[in-house]
Structures are given as structure tokens and as C-alpha cells.
Structure 1
Amino acid sequence: MMDKISTFLWFDGNAEEAAEFYTGLFPDSSIEEATRTTMDYPGGKVGDVITVSFTLSGRSFVAMNGGPDHPFTDAISLSIDCADQAEVDRYWDALSDGGEPIICGWIKDRFGLHWQVTPRILPQLLADPDRAKAKRVMNAMTQMVKIDVAEIKAAADGKA
């Protein structure tokens, strides 16, 4: 069943490949339907996949092959809540394959979509009532590309 509100993603001819990659990466994910176009359009021709409906971890998405006119920017990203460093590493490694690591846990995948690979402890420490601790964590995070949980904890404890 589709959510009341779904995220709609514009791809340049590789929507189906992206949906297959994402659904293979996240648990509780599947492709529901691929719809083929009945006419030629700027991003494709009759018979090409135009949209792919899929879920990622239980949330609805639609990927569309809309052509090259609207590439992704970092103005929107998908954030992954990671339980621990092993989960951070797993998602980071998969998304960085053909992608581009950025900074502070952000990565642009090979399809151009931006992700935040975030260990659960990071936002907790950034919201800590001890603002000096939170500042140490923020300073440590801004020096990282992929977030390192041990380093974040060391910064929180004043040991970094």
C-alpha cells in the first residue's frame, strides 16, 4: 500500500537500476511496480520504464526517468539512522561504490542522490544538555567525512 505522501525522485534513465540497488540495500524494501511509457518523451521512448514504485524500509518512493534536466542536489537528502559503526560502515561502503563521499557523514551515491549516514548516537550527543560536550562532538564531526562512532564518543568524553 502506498503512503499518503511519497517521495518522488527524478532520474536520468536509470530509475529502475537505482530502485533495484536501494531495495537490495535496505531491509523491509521491495519494488512494487514498474510502469512503461506509451509515448516518446524527452527522457525516453515508447516502452521504456518511466516510473518505478518501491518501498525502502517501509516508506514509499517513486523513481521516474525524467531525463537530464533536473539532477539531484544536496538541497535534499535521505538520512539513514544507523545503530552502530558496523551499520554506518555497511551503508557507507555500498553508497560510496561509484559515489562521492562529501563531509560530516554525507555521501552522493552513483545516481547522484545525497545521503546522510548517521550513527544514532550523533544527534543524541549533539542535543546533549551539556553544551560544551555537544560542541566538542560538533567540532569532531565537522572534521570527518565518514562518521567514526569511537571518535565521536571520545570527543563527547573530552578525550579527543
Structure 2
Amino acid sequence: MPSITPSLWFDGKAEEAAAFYAAIFPDSRIDRVLGAPADNPSTARGEVLVVELTLCGQRFTGINGGPQFPFTPAVSFCIECDGPAELDRYWEALTADGGEAGQCGWCRDRFGLS
């Protein structure tokens, strides 16, 4: 059966973001980190290009693609919570260190992901 893996485009911080998310959400981990080949236009050879990660059991790929395509609220993730305490914990973690509150209960983390 085919599967779909969402790919998240970062400006050089895919590994940092993956570690951040894996530390916040249960059943989460970094699965693999891949360095860039010599001919990659956005990332120097050997620097992190791709991070494969699992968040809450869902596979994702993070790519260090450069500044061309920043995140927008057009693609957002909804987190189902068991109650106010869990919601508050996620909110505090996601808005810390440069994240910000948005309208209608949305927030943006320090990497720009809503």
C-alpha cells in the first residue's frame, strides 16, 4: 500500500527543527540524517540536507532547501489534545524562543511552521 510522507522545507535548520519536534511530541524520533552531495545548489557538501523523522508515529522529511520557500499558514498542522494541560504544554513549547501566537488559536513556531 502506498504511503505519503510530508516534506518540510527549511532554510538550513532541518536537523534543529527535527530535534525540537521529536523532543516535544510522543512517539517521535529522528530516523536518519543525510549529508548533501557535492553538486547540491543549496547546501554545501557534507552538511545536513535531509532529515527523516517520525512525529507522533507519522513519517516526515525535512530538507534544507534554502530561503526560497518559507512556511506560510496555508499549510498548518493541527494537534489533537486530551485537555487544557496538554494544550498548554504544546502551546508553550511551540511559541518559545521566537515562536508567536496567531489569530483564532493558531501559533507559529520559531521555524515558521504553523
Unmatched runs of 5 consecutive residues or more in structure 2? none
Q: What's 2:51 paired with?
A: 52
Post-superposition Cα deviations, 1:44-70, rounded to whole Å, max 9, x if no partner, equal: 200011000000000000000000000
The separation in 1 between residues aligned to 2:68 and 2:39, in whole angstroms, is 16
Partner of 1:70: 69
1:88 aligns with 2:90: no
The offset of 1:40, in angstroms, is 4.7
Normalising by structure 1, we get a TM-score of 0.68
The one-letter code of the counterpart of 2:110 is R
The alignment of Structure 1 onto Structure 2 pairs a total of residues equal to: 112
* Alpha-carbon separation, structure 1, partners of 2:57 and 2:91: 20
Q: Which residue of 1 aligns with 2:107?
A: 107
Which protein is bigger by CA-based radius of gyration? 1
Q: How does 1:4-83 map to 2 (within 5 A)?
A: 4-83=3-82
* Distance in 2 separating the partners of 1:24 and 1:17: 11
User: How far apart, CA to CA, are the structure 2 residues paired with 1:73 and 1:109?
Assistant: 11
CA contact (8 A) 1:95 1:108 kept: yes
Letter aligned with residue 107 of structure 1? C
The 3-state SS of whatever aligns with 2:77 is strand
Aligned pairs for 1:102-141 (under 5 A) are 102-114=102-114
Q: Which has a greater percent of helix?
A: 1
1:41 Cα offset (Å): 3.2
User: How far is 1:39 from its partner?
Assistant: 1.6
Query: How far has the Cα of 1:42 moved from its partner?
Result: 3.5
Are the equivalent residues in 2 in contact too, given 1:12–1:43 (CA < 8 A)? no
Aligned to 1:158: none
* One-letter identity of the residue aligned with 1:110: R
Higher relative contact order (CA 8 A, sep 6+): 2
Q: Percent identity?
A: 51
Instruction: Decide whether the 8 Å contact of 1:42 with 1:67 is kept in 2.
Output: no
